[in-house]
Structure 1
Amino acid sequence: MKVLVVRGVSLMKKDIFGTTDPYCRLSLYRDVRQTSCLGNSVRTRTIKRSLNPEWNEEFYFRVNPESNRLIFEIFDENRITRDNFLGYVSISLPQTDIAVDGFEDLSRTTAKSYLLKQRR
């Protein structure tokens, strides 16, 4: 499955100067209960001093559309302290319209927007 992380809009201000240094981490879980992460997580590059970052980065995952869950987590990167969690989006692949058999060109699929949720 190809995932395109396009942008964030109106993110929370976390830095002292009223901006944030956001990046998006993507993790694929074995099942919808999020009990077992499959492999390593991937992440976008950090966009410095932006509340409306434009990433436009593609990632590829080998998925089971009948059971996997994809988690997007947004963080504010900090050099000295721990990165600040800004929110997450959880997408259950069985509830999407991903093709189950073989490959399908979904390049015409429309983009979807999601609101960030607070920590689980």
Structure 2
Amino acid sequence: MGPPGIKVPLALIHRLRRGGRGGGRGNNESNKTEGGSSSDKKAEGGSSHKKSEGSDRGGATTNKVEMDSLLGLLRIRIKRGVNLAVRDARSSDPYVIVKMGKQKLRTHVLKRDVNPEWNEDLTLYVTDPSLPIKLTVYDHDTFSKDDKMGHAEIEIKHLLEALKMNGNGVGNEETVAARVQPKRSNCLASESCVVWKDGKVTQDMCLRLKNVESGEVEIQIQWINLPAASKP
């Protein structure tokens, strides 16, 4: 069962059994390639005419997830961007895409803002925790290809290690299970703490974007157990 205080919607479990989709505005790799022009890539450009979730160009449903290989869900809250790069005349129209394996989720577009506040939850299903999780920021353009505004990788190994504590010796008070320092092998801009509180384990991160002149993205990740799921 999930940690106390976390209710996993039955509808989400049923969707995972049928089609294996995570939550959020995006869908799996069946979406058209991110960074394409608006005419080629309506789903990525914020158009109201984007394809329905879970369908590809041939109308096939997404690959099914075997429930016996499902470890749990990873909820990623995209909080805000800080000092993002300017890609238009004076500002940018940023949105975020998160990819893990064949899953691809995205936030909405915020117009003319290099310090956007999305506060949007994206939920991935996890069958293999070793798969990289890539976060990429794009600038939405109406008549041309969407510009990249940097990328970063999200590491969940410290979160999973804290889960092995299973909350032993942890009450309702906030308890820091691990402190992760920024270094070359990660994308952290500052210290990141894994925290147990009220039966939940979360990790706040400030990610420094790569391959761009400036920009950081603040996120929070949280693991959600599912009934009958394998342990990570």
TM-score, normalised to structure 1, is 0.77
Deviation at 1:100, TM superposition (A): 6.2
1:15 paired residue number: 88
1:87 paired residue number: 150
Q: How does 1:47-66 map to 2 (within 5 A)?
A: 47-64=110-127, 66=129
Deviation at 1:62, TM superposition (A): 1.2
Regions of 4+ moved over 4 Å: none
Counterpart secondary structure, 1:97 = helix
Q: How does 1:1-120 map to 2 (within 5 A)?
A: 1-16=74-89, 18-28=90-100, 37-39=101-103, 41-64=104-127, 66-94=129-157, 96-98=158-160, 99=163, 105-106=200-201, 109-118=202-211
| Equivalent-residue separation in structure 2 for 1:44 and 1:101 (angstroms) | 32
- 1:65·1:100 contact (CA, 8 Å) conserved in 2? no
Deviation at 1:66, TM superposition (A): 3.9
Change (3 A) 1:49 1:63: same
CA RMSD of aligned residues (A): 2.2
Stretches of structure 1 that go unaligned for 5 or more consecutive residues are: 29-36
- 2:159·2:203 contact (CA, 8 Å) conserved in 1? no
**Percent same amino acid among aligned pairs?**
26
Deviation at 1:117, TM superposition (A): 0.3
- 1:69·1:93 contact (CA, 8 Å) conserved in 2? no
More helix by share: 2
Letter of the structure 2 residue corresponding to residue 27 of structure 1? K
What do the CA deviations read for 1:30-49 (whole angstroms, capped 9, x no partner)?
Answer: xxxxxxx223x110000000
| Larger CA deviation: 56-65 vs 42-51 | 56-65
Change (3 A) 1:78 1:63: same
What do the CA deviations read for 1:68-89 (whole angstroms, capped 9, x no partner)?
Answer: 2211000000000000001001
What do the CA deviations read for 1:61-111 (whole angstroms, capped 9, x no partner)?
Answer: 1114641221100000000000000100112333x3223699x622xx342
Change (3 A) 1:92 1:80: same
1:33 paired residue number: none
Instruction: Answer with 1 or 2: which has the greater Rg.
Output: 2
Change (3 A) 1:13 1:62: same
Change (3 A) 1:100 1:87: farther
Stretches of structure 2 that go unaligned for 5 or more consecutive residues are: 1-73, 167-198, 213-232
Letter of the structure 2 residue corresponding to residue 5 of structure 1? I
- 1:76·1:84 contact (CA, 8 Å) conserved in 2? yes
